[in-house]
Structure 1
Amino acid sequence: MKYNYSFLKLTLLFFLVASSFLAHAQTIKGKVTDAETREPMVGTTVVLKETGKSQYVRLDGYFTFKNLKPGEYNLEFRFVSYKTRQVQVKVADAQITTLNVVMEPVTNQLNSVSVVDNGSSNDKRSRTIEKNSNQLVNVVSARNIELSPDITVANVMQRVSGVTIERSNSGEGRYPIIRGMDKRYINTLVNGIKISSPDNKSRFIPLDLFPAELLERLEVSKTLLPSMEGDAIGGTINLVMKDAPSKTLLQVNAAAGYNAIFAGRNFEQFDHSSISKAAPSEVNGNSYAAVPTDFPNRNLHFSNKTNPINTNFGFTFGDRFFKDKKLGFIISTSYQDNFTGNNSTYYLPAAQPNVNNVPNFTDLEARTYSTESRRIGVNNKFDYKFNNKNKISLVNVFVRLDDYQTRKISDTIALNSLIDALSRSKWQYQTIYNSSLQGIHQLSDGLKFDWSLDYSQANNHTPDQAEFSHEYQIVASTGSTDKLQSMSRIWSHNGDVDYSAYFNLTDNFKLLNRKFELKFGGMERNKTRTSYYNSYSLTPTVVGAVYTNIDNASFTFKNTGASLFSPDGNNYTFIENVGAGYAQGKWELTDKLEALGGLRIEYTKQNYDTQLSNSVPASSGIINYTDFLPSGVLNYKIKENEDIKLSYYKALARPAFAELIPDGQPGEVYKEQGNPLTLNHTTADNIDLRYELFPKNADEILIGAFYKKIHNPIEYALLNPNDPRLAQNTGGTSAILAPVNNASATNYGFEAVFTKYFGPFGVVANYTYTKSQTTTSKYYVYRSDAGIITVRSQDETTPLQGQSDHIGNLALIYKNQKLGVNVQGAFVYTGQRIAFVNPAYGLDYWQAPTEQLDFSIEKTVGKHFSIYGKANNLTNTPYVLELHQSYNNYLAAPGGRPLALQTDANKVITVQKDNFKTSYLFGMRYKF
Structure 2
Amino acid sequence: MYKTLLLSIVLFFSYILVSAQSIKGTIIDENGEALIGASVVIEGTTNGAIVGLNGSYGIKGVENGATVTLKASFIGFLTQTKEVSINKETIVHFTLLPNHKELDEVVVMAARELDTDASARATEQHAAMVLNVVSANTIELSPDLNVADVMQRISGVSLEQSNAGVGSYAIVRGMPKRYSYTLVNGVKIPSPDNKNRFVPLDMFPSELLDRIEVTKALTPSMEGDAVGGAMNLIMKNANDDFSFKINASTGMSTLFMEGSGQDFLTYDQSQTNRVAPHHRAVPGYEASFRDFTTDNLVISKKTNPIDFNIGTSISNRFFDGKLGVVVAGNLQKLHRGSDTHFYNIGFADIVNNVMSLNTYQHRQYSSEMTRGGVHNKIDYFFNPKNSISLYNALIFEREDQVRETERFRLWDGEYNPETNSGTASLITRIRTTEQQIYNSTLQGKHDLLPFWNLDWSAVYSIASRKRPDQMVFTRNASYVNGVPKQVRVEDFGGQYRQWEENDDRDYTAYLNNTFDLQRFGALKLGGLYRDKARTNSYIRYNFKPQNDETKVDEDWRYDEVTWTLTNPKGGQTNPLNYDAHEKILAYYGEYKLTPSKRTELVGGVRVEHTDQGYELRNPRYGEEPSANQTYVDYLPSLHFRYMINEKSNLRASYFRSVIRPGFFEIIPYEIGAEISDSEFTERGNPDLERTITDNFDLRYEVFAGVRDNLFIGAFYKNIMDPIENGIMVDDRGNTFVQPGNYGSAINYGLEVDATKYFRNFGVKANYTYTHSSITTSKIMYQREDPEDSSSDIVPLQVDQTRPLQGQAKHIGNVSLLYKDQKNGFDIQLANVFTGKRIEQLMVYYEKDYWQKAMWQMDFSVEKHFDMGLTIFVKARNILDTHRILFIEEASTENQSKYPAQGNVGDNLVVRDDRYGRNFQIGLKYKL
Which interval holds the TM-score relative to the shorter structure? 0.7 to 0.9
Any idea what SS the aligned residue of 1:355 has? coil
The alpha-carbon deviation at position 213 of structure 1 amounts to 0.4
1:873–1:919: 8 Å Cα contact kept in structure 2? yes
Q: Are the structure 2 counterparts of residues 745 and 612 from structure 1 closer, same or farther at C-alpha, using a change threshold of 3 Å?
A: farther
Partners of 1:217 and 1:230 in 2: how far apart? 22
Partners of 1:804 and 1:185 in 2: how far apart? 15
Of 469, 474, 481, which residue of structure 1 is paired with 2:474?
A: 469
Aligned to 2:429: 424
Aligned to 1:382: 378
Residues 389-408 of structure 1, C-alpha deviations (whole Å, 9 max, x = no match): 10000001111001010100
Q: How does 1:32-43 map to 2 (within 5 A)?
A: none
Q: Are 1:234 and 2:228 matched, yes or no?
A: yes
Partners of 1:829 and 1:338 in 2: how far apart? 24
Partners of 2:472 and 2:349 in 1: how far apart? 28
Q: Are the structure 2 counterparts of residues 102 and 453 from structure 1 closer, same or farther at C-alpha, using a change threshold of 3 Å?
A: closer
Residues 277-305 of structure 1, C-alpha deviations (whole Å, 9 max, x = no match): 10011111342221122222222211111
Aligned to 1:208: 202
Of 768, 781, 785, which residue of structure 1 is paired with 2:787?
A: 785
**Number of matched residues?**
812
Partners of 1:866 and 1:805 in 2: how far apart? 40
2:896–2:902: 8 Å Cα contact kept in structure 1? no
Aligned to 1:715: 724
Q: Are the structure 2 counterparts of residues 696 and 721 from structure 1 closer, same or farther at C-alpha, using a change threshold of 3 Å?
A: same
The alpha-carbon deviation at position 803 of structure 1 amounts to 0.2
Partners of 1:741 and 1:616 in 2: how far apart? 25
Q: Are the structure 2 counterparts of residues 126 and 897 from structure 1 closer, same or farther at C-alpha, using a change threshold of 3 Å?
A: closer
- Structure 2 unpaired stretches of 5+: 1-29, 34-91, 415-421
The alpha-carbon deviation at position 831 of structure 1 amounts to 0.2
Of 620, 627, 648, which residue of structure 2 is paired with 1:621?
A: 627
The residue type paired with residue 366 of structure 1 is H
The alpha-carbon deviation at position 639 of structure 1 amounts to 0.2
The alpha-carbon deviation at position 898 of structure 1 amounts to 5.0
The alpha-carbon deviation at position 885 of structure 1 amounts to 1.3
Aligned to 2:185: 191
The residue type paired with residue 707 of structure 2 is A
Aligned to 1:285: 282
The alpha-carbon deviation at position 352 of structure 1 amounts to 11
Partners of 2:94 and 2:153 in 1: how far apart? 25
Aligned to 2:692: 683
Any idea what SS the aligned residue of 1:273 has? helix
Residues 517-574 of structure 1, C-alpha deviations (whole Å, 9 max, x = no match): 100101000000000001111111245665643332111134xx45544312100000
The alpha-carbon deviation at position 99 of structure 1 amounts to 8.0
Aligned to 2:647: 641
Of 144, 147, 150, which residue of structure 1 is paired with 2:141?
A: 147
Any idea what SS the aligned residue of 2:125 has? helix
Q: How does 1:749-768 map to 2 (within 5 A)?
A: 749-768=749-768
The residue type paired with residue 620 of structure 1 is S
Of 510, 514, 518, which residue of structure 2 is paired with 1:506?
A: 514
Any idea what SS the aligned residue of 1:589 has? strand
The alpha-carbon deviation at position 708 of structure 1 amounts to 0.1
Comparing 842-851 and 443-452, the one that deviates more: 443-452
Aligned to 2:117: 123
Partners of 1:821 and 1:856 in 2: how far apart? 11
The residue type paired with residue 385 of structure 2 is K
Of 525, 531, 536, which residue of structure 1 is paired with 2:536?
A: 531
Of 299, 304, 307, which residue of structure 2 is paired with 1:302?
A: 299
The alpha-carbon deviation at position 593 of structure 1 amounts to 1.4
The residue type paired with residue 880 of structure 1 is I
Partners of 1:767 and 1:708 in 2: how far apart? 19
Partners of 1:353 and 1:496 in 2: how far apart? 46
The residue type paired with residue 833 of structure 2 is Y
The alpha-carbon deviation at position 905 of structure 1 amounts to 3.5
Partners of 2:477 and 2:721 in 1: how far apart? 49
Q: Are the structure 2 counterparts of residues 82 and 243 from structure 1 closer, same or farther at C-alpha, using a change threshold of 3 Å?
A: farther
Aligned to 1:489: 497
Partners of 1:308 and 1:272 in 2: how far apart? 17
1:353–1:781: 8 Å Cα contact kept in structure 2? no
Of 796, 805, 808, which residue of structure 2 is paired with 1:804?
A: 808
Aligned to 1:91: none
* Identical positions, percent: 38
- Structure 1 unpaired stretches of 5+: 1-31, 36-77, 89-96, 106-118, 723-730
Of 354, 361, 366, which residue of structure 2 is paired with 1:365?
A: 361
Partners of 1:619 and 1:402 in 2: how far apart? 34
Q: Are 1:163 and 2:177 matched, yes or no?
A: no
The residue type paired with residue 780 of structure 1 is M
The residue type paired with residue 719 of structure 1 is M
Q: Are 1:456 and 2:461 matched, yes or no?
A: yes
Q: How does 1:813-824 map to 2 (within 5 A)?
A: 813-824=817-828
Aligned to 2:773: 773
The alpha-carbon deviation at position 480 of structure 1 amounts to 7.9
Comparing 232-241 and 899-908, the one that deviates more: 899-908
Q: Are 1:268 and 2:272 matched, yes or no?
A: no
Partners of 2:560 and 2:843 in 1: how far apart? 42
Q: Are 1:132 and 2:156 matched, yes or no?
A: no
Q: TM-score, normalised by structure 1?
A: 0.84
Residues 458-495 of structure 1, C-alpha deviations (whole Å, 9 max, x = no match): 00000000111111112399x98421114210100000
1:508–1:518: 8 Å Cα contact kept in structure 2? yes
Q: Are 1:704 and 2:713 matched, yes or no?
A: yes
Comparing 148-157 and 79-88, the one that deviates more: 79-88
Q: How does 1:314-325 map to 2 (within 5 A)?
A: 314-322=311-319, 324-325=320-321
1:650–1:683: 8 Å Cα contact kept in structure 2? yes
2:641–2:651: 8 Å Cα contact kept in structure 1? yes
Q: TM-score, normalised by structure 2?
A: 0.84
Comparing 688-697 and 267-276, the one that deviates more: 267-276
1:186–1:204: 8 Å Cα contact kept in structure 2? yes
Q: Are the structure 2 counterparts of residues 370 and 566 from structure 1 closer, same or farther at C-alpha, using a change threshold of 3 Å?
A: same
Partners of 1:856 and 1:148 in 2: how far apart? 6
Superposed CA RMSD in Å reads 2.6
Aligned to 1:585: 591
The residue type paired with residue 877 of structure 1 is T
Partners of 1:750 and 1:791 in 2: how far apart? 40
Q: Are 1:551 and 2:548 matched, yes or no?
A: no
Residues 738-788 of structure 1, C-alpha deviations (whole Å, 9 max, x = no match): 101110000000000110000010010000000000001111012333222
The alpha-carbon deviation at position 595 of structure 1 amounts to 1.1
The alpha-carbon deviation at position 267 of structure 1 amounts to 0.9
Any idea what SS the aligned residue of 1:281 has? helix
Q: Are the structure 2 counterparts of residues 659 and 409 from structure 1 closer, same or farther at C-alpha, using a change threshold of 3 Å?
A: same
Q: How does 1:11-26 map to 2 (within 5 A)?
A: none
Partners of 1:743 and 1:191 in 2: how far apart? 36
Q: Are the structure 2 counterparts of residues 225 and 904 from structure 1 closer, same or farther at C-alpha, using a change threshold of 3 Å?
A: farther
Comparing 181-190 and 278-287, the one that deviates more: 278-287
The alpha-carbon deviation at position 233 of structure 1 amounts to 0.9
Q: Are 1:672 and 2:682 matched, yes or no?
A: yes
Residues 586-643 of structure 1, C-alpha deviations (whole Å, 9 max, x = no match): 1001121111110000010012101353643543101101100000011111001111
Any idea what SS the aligned residue of 1:282 has? helix
Partners of 2:661 and 2:99 in 1: how far apart? 53
The residue type paired with residue 837 of structure 2 is R
Comparing 264-273 and 253-262, the one that deviates more: 264-273
The alpha-carbon deviation at position 447 of structure 1 amounts to 1.6
Partners of 2:409 and 2:283 in 1: how far apart? 37
The alpha-carbon deviation at position 34 of structure 1 amounts to 11
1:178–1:235: 8 Å Cα contact kept in structure 2? yes
Partners of 1:245 and 1:351 in 2: how far apart? 64
1:286–1:564: 8 Å Cα contact kept in structure 2? no
Any idea what SS the aligned residue of 2:881 has? coil
2:727–2:797: 8 Å Cα contact kept in structure 1? no
Any idea what SS the aligned residue of 1:200 has? coil
The alpha-carbon deviation at position 446 of structure 1 amounts to 2.6
The alpha-carbon deviation at position 244 of structure 1 amounts to 1.4
